[in-house]
């Protein structure tokens, strides 16, 4: 018998963040600049791939702040 190891994706926060970013009409580069992270970090996060927790927090913080500024309560619906 052969054991197969798979990469379990713990959460789908990245997928939800991507939907929010698109709904807010933001580019990956725009979010990366706001969060002070490399643009590659946005792509990794949106695909639910491993990324330092600090980067994830910065990205989510900036997306949430932008959502609040835009007053878009129904953005993710």
Classify 13-70 by CATH class: mainly alpha
Q: What pLDDT sits at residue 49? A: 94
Cα 14 to the chain's mean position, in Å? 4
Q: How confident is the model at residue 5 (pLDDT cuts 50, 70, 90)?
A: very low
Q: What is the pTM of this model?
A: 0.76
Report pLDDT digits (tens) over 6-64. Answer: 444 456 889 999 999 999 999 999 999 999 999 999 999 999 999 999 999 999 999 99
- Contact residues for 23 (Cβ-Cβ < 8 A; gap 6+): 72, 75, 76
Q: Read off the tokens for 68.
A: 């609040």
Task: Please state, in angstroms and rounded to a whole number, the distance separating the CA atoms of residues 73 and 3.
Answer: 46
Residue 8: DSSP 8-state: -
d(C-alpha 59, C-alpha 4), whole Å: 33
Is the pLDDT reported for residue 1 higher than 80? no
Residue tagged 């600049």 (tokens) = 33
């Amino acid at each position: 018998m052969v054991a197969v190891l798979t990469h379990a994706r713990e959460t789908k926060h990245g997928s939800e963040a991507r939907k929010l970013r698109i709904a807010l009409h933001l580019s990956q580069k725009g979010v990366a600049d706001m969060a002070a992270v490399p643009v590659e970090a946005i792509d990794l996060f949106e695909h639910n791939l491993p990324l330092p927790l600090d980067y994830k927090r910065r990205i989510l913080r900036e997306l949430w702040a932008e959502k609040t500024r835009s007053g878009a309560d129904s953005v993710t619906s």
